[in-house]
Structure 1
Amino acid sequence: MFYLYAYCLFSKIMTRLKMQNKWSTKLGVAIIFWVFSVQFISAHNVKSPTALSITEGSGDHNKREETDIEIENEDPEDLEVFRPTDKWQTLKPGHAVPAGSHVRLNLQTGHREVKMGEEEGLKYRKDGNGQGMVNVQGPSFTAEELKKALKNFKQGMDDPVDTKQEDDAVRAQFRPIEELKKDMEALNMLVETDVQVMMKLLNQFNNTNSTTNEKVKALLDLEYLVHQVDNAQNLVSMGGMQLVINALNSTDIRLQESAAFVLGSAVSSNPSVQVEAVEGGALQKLLILLATQRPMAVKKKALFAVASLLRLFPFAQSHFLKLGGVQMLSELFQTPGAEALRVRIITVLYDMITEKELISQVGMDLIPDSSHQERLRQYAEVALLPVLVEQGWCKLVPELLSSPEHDWREKALRTLLAMMAQCHTQYKQNPSLTVSLSELHEQYQELVLTEQDVGEQDGYFGEILALVDSMVVKMRQV
């Protein structure tokens, strides 16, 4: 701008001098060059403390324009940091401004002005045709503060560190690796498989020096393990099954009860173990416990073992019939004080009846294999229903209908329906059965209405009422 201004001034002076004489023209030119030289040298000798980058925008040139300032020529350590505020202030020479401050050049006064940035971090600025990112970082530091921090940092790097003392402190907090290895080895010795545990329990049970309490505890621990199919099979392979079966003949009732409990858990849903138990004489010994004078706790566990042994095992059911098992259950059913076992006995008989019916009603589209044919043959040898009629079960089962327990009534009704083909005549000739069914019909009709009032359309009492109605309908049939 200075050069443009000088050029315009020079042009005007030359125009006027052309109108004067030649000597005056030469003198004027010399004067103009002298002024131009003085101004040029003065402009270049004045050292500007800053380099300004002005962002020009459209509008009046007399307006004040904002710009970002960057210190180039001055050493930052020699500058005094200026603390701006939120208002424009005149910036004196030799002052440094914090990063992110706004700086502008007042074109009217020629002074630089500064104020605090609007926000921290990077801010996008756009002013007219100029735009860009402004770094508005947080607090600034003076040159003295920076020098002091750098000096402390260098001193900290030069300070010697007692690494040995720190290492000793760390080692004191942890155990040596050698000790940890020894502990891990000891733990590995304590980790035993189920087979190892079962072997120890069998040794404890079979040891003549073990007390009865120790033997009972060993049997109860075995019962917990043999619920798993593999453990029950391992019990057989280790010879433990025969030890348990032999314990059924013990003179101690606690050992009899515990042994029956282990046996029932081991054979449950485990065909291979069922075979071993039957071949080992378990069924005979269990029936003896049920047929002789034994505490109720022993009979409950023995009946549990019998039910587990007979379930889905026609070979055992056939042996059960040959050993007089139905007659033994009939006597137990009528034994005074054994009322709690009645519903369990009925459940055993009901399961045996329905198993044979279900396997006989398999659809024709099922591809029969050799095992299926063998099971059909074995179930054909189980003639249970004729034996039930012969042993008087057509009259024994209706006695459970007088029980106040809904569960007992349900089991009795299902068993009566399962025996309907063989006991139809005896049902019709039993007046007490007719009266019981009539009373149950009225009672469960009311209970069904109560269920419906609370929003249960297909409740438990509705199922029992359906069983009662089915019994009544089938009894009326010829």
Structure 2
Amino acid sequence: MRMTFSLSNIMMTRRIMQSKRSSSIGVTITLWLFGLHLICAHNVKSPTALTIKEDSGDLNQVEETQLEDEDPEDLEVFHPTNNWQTLRPGQAVPAGSHVRLNLQTGQREVKLGEEEGLKYWRDGNRQGMMNMQAPSFTAQELKEALKYFKEGTDDSSGTKQDEEEVRAKFRPIEELKKDMKALDMLIETDVQVMKRLLTQFNDSKSTSEEKVAALLDLEYLVHQVDNAQNMVSMGGMHLVINALNSTDVRLQESAAFVLGSAVSSNPSVQVEAVEGGGLQKLLTLLATQRPMAVKKKVLFAVASLLRHFPFAQSHFLKLGGGQVLAELFQTPGAEALRVRIITVLYDMIVEKELISQAGLDLIPDSTHQERLRQYAEVSLLPVLVEQGWCSLVPELLASSEHDWVEKALRTLLAMMAQCQTQYKQNPTLMASLNELHKQYKELALTEQDIGEQDGYFGEILALVDSMVVKMQHV
């Protein structure tokens, strides 16, 4: 029985492949038809059979002919060669062909796309297109593929081996479901975690290491406003404040760290901390002999508690907080804390000035008036003058750290209204300012040479000049 496939049959097969590409059944049927075609073409040569024959002549000079049994719509398909040829109106070109407009004749011209790897062939009345880059298969390989298709399976031994390899690499879905179910049971909300940590911290059976670990985990959570407020409602603030009295310096340090993080930008928690005696216990730790690591965390907690909280600032002055900081400022070995201390003082001074200046541009309301009243009760500058800060702050100007010098200059300017007389009577201060003027003038010029007109050193130089001018002002 002779089986022949015209070009229209092959095109129909190609359409089947395109429409069934996502279906494994369509791909298998196409492979079977293509295999039968090549096998028959290999054994029986038919005038209408599709065969591939290399032409030893120049393919560029091959003339185009039409297949006798081609569909009428296929007659309009133009088969380009490697040379430019005129394209008649109504003719279609294969994808990947190059088309251009001849400006002299006004005709469109087309030639075969070189990058596609395609070649057109002709054998008598038969012609077609061959992909030179496509993989080739022998007749025997196609017969083997057809054999497996008829049997309905591939090599069973290889399939079973592949399945075993897959099973070894991946866990069964049943085990994964059990693990995911167990994981769901382990998920805790922040509130549940804080309850567990506070229970662990308050447990008399917990070791010091376990209590410190619980506090550090708690500190990570109370950065969020809601978590800090929930900790208060759980009684956690009381536990943390009591831990400041612990004989274990590690617990003191960790408790101060938690307290400082919980009250940061959280007014309701600030109130609870002050009313719970937290500020007084923090000042006690600063005034007594403690490791430097503990005092750093305690000073952090004090700064967080005083920031934007005039009630706490007033309470801080009544408890002698300014004097405690002055003694700590002069303590040998506490030099690293000096810039932190004057930053606390500077923040409190500037806050009061800013709230007063903001009142000039805002429509007064009950809230703003209450804040003004509370800040009016904070007499910070007179206390600082009395405790000797007018002469303590200038000591930082001798530092080699630019950041320290900047903060010292800003604090000196903030205290100028109360300390001007003492500044003028301090010869060391004036000498320091003259030396700083020379130093930062050179640094500012270096900045300008590299294109930084408003650099950091220029900013410090402006602070030095401002100090000099205000000190000379009567």
TM-score exceeds 0.5: yes
Other-structure match for 1:458: 454
SS state at 1:361 partner: helix
- Pairs within 5 Å for 1:19-30: none
Other-structure match for 2:323: 327
Structure 1 position 290, deviation (Å): 0.7
Structure 1 position 307, deviation (Å): 0.5
Identity %: 72
Q: Please point out which of 313, 320, 332 is paired with 2:309.
A: 313
Other-structure match for 2:129: 137
Structure 1 position 363, deviation (Å): 5.4
Deviations 1:338-367 (A, max 9, x none): 222211111111000000000100154423
Cα 1:84–1:437 shift into 2, 3 Å: closer
Other-structure match for 1:85: 55
Cα 1:321–1:103 shift into 2, 3 Å: closer
- Pairs within 5 Å for 1:435-474: 435-474=431-470
C-alpha separation in 2, matches of 1:277 and 1:263: 8
Does residue 412 of structure 1 match 2:408?
yes
C-alpha separation in 1, matches of 2:142 and 2:337: 93
SS state at 2:130 partner: coil
Deviations 1:82-104 (A, max 9, x none): 8473659xxxxxxxxxxx98459
Q: Please point out which of 426, 429, 432 is paired with 1:430.
A: 426
Deviations 1:444-465 (A, max 9, x none): 2222223223332222221111
Equivalent AA in structure 2 for residue 254 of structure 1 = R
C-alpha separation in 2, matches of 1:130 and 1:199: 82
Does residue 221 of structure 1 match 2:225?
no
Equivalent AA in structure 2 for residue 280 of structure 1 = G
Does residue 271 of structure 1 match 2:227?
no
Structure 1 position 167, deviation (Å): 9.4
- Is contact 2:359-2:368 (8 Å) kept? no
SS state at 1:312 partner: coil
Deviations 1:113-169 (A, max 9, x none): xxxxxxxx9526989999856973338xxxxx9999998887655425499997997
SS state at 2:79 partner: strand
C-alpha separation in 2, matches of 1:425 and 1:302: 34
CA RMSD, aligned part only? 3.5
Equivalent AA in structure 1 for residue 207 of structure 2 = T
Other-structure match for 1:233: 229
Cα 1:153–1:409 shift into 2, 3 Å: closer
C-alpha separation in 2, matches of 1:371 and 1:130: 84
- Is contact 1:122-1:136 (8 Å) kept? no
Deviations 1:413-442 (A, max 9, x none): 111111111111121222222222222222
Q: Which is worse superposed, 385-394 or 194-203?
A: 194-203
Cα 1:389–1:157 shift into 2, 3 Å: closer
Deviations 1:278-301 (A, max 9, x none): 111100000000111112111111
Cα 1:393–1:365 shift into 2, 3 Å: closer
- Pairs within 5 Å for 1:392-411: 392-411=388-407
Cα 1:230–1:79 shift into 2, 3 Å: same
- Is contact 2:64-2:79 (8 Å) kept? no
Structure 1 position 214, deviation (Å): 1.5
Equivalent AA in structure 1 for residue 385 of structure 2 = V
Other-structure match for 1:190: 186
- Is contact 1:205-1:215 (8 Å) kept? yes
Other-structure match for 1:95: none
C-alpha separation in 1, matches of 2:86 and 2:435: 99
- Is contact 1:124-1:131 (8 Å) kept? no
Cα 1:151–1:266 shift into 2, 3 Å: closer
Where structure 1 has 5 or more consecutive residues not aligned to the other structure, the ranges are: 1-75, 89-99, 105-111, 113-120, 140-144
Other-structure match for 2:246: 250
C-alpha separation in 2, matches of 1:418 and 1:303: 21
Equivalent AA in structure 1 for residue 379 of structure 2 = A
Cα 1:175–1:216 shift into 2, 3 Å: closer
Q: Please point out which of 325, 332, 346 is paired with 1:336.
A: 332
Cα 1:136–1:361 shift into 2, 3 Å: same
- Pairs within 5 Å for 1:274-289: 274-289=270-285
C-alpha separation in 1, matches of 2:87 and 2:214: 94
- Is contact 2:148-2:154 (8 Å) kept? no
- Is contact 1:201-1:222 (8 Å) kept? yes
Cα 1:176–1:213 shift into 2, 3 Å: closer
Cα 1:209–1:151 shift into 2, 3 Å: closer
SS state at 2:358 partner: coil
C-alpha separation in 1, matches of 2:311 and 2:87: 101
Equivalent AA in structure 2 for residue 302 of structure 1 = V
C-alpha separation in 2, matches of 1:218 and 1:147: 75
Equivalent AA in structure 2 for residue 275 of structure 1 = V
Q: Please point out which of 76, 79, 89 is paired with 1:123.
A: 79
- Larger-Rg structure: 1
- Is contact 2:252-2:294 (8 Å) kept? yes
Cα 1:304–1:127 shift into 2, 3 Å: closer
SS state at 2:346 partner: helix
Does residue 159 of structure 1 match 2:155?
no
Other-structure match for 2:387: 391
C-alpha separation in 1, matches of 2:88 and 2:463: 93
Cα 1:360–1:210 shift into 2, 3 Å: same
Cα 1:130–1:240 shift into 2, 3 Å: closer
SS state at 2:429 partner: helix
Equivalent AA in structure 1 for residue 79 of structure 2 = K
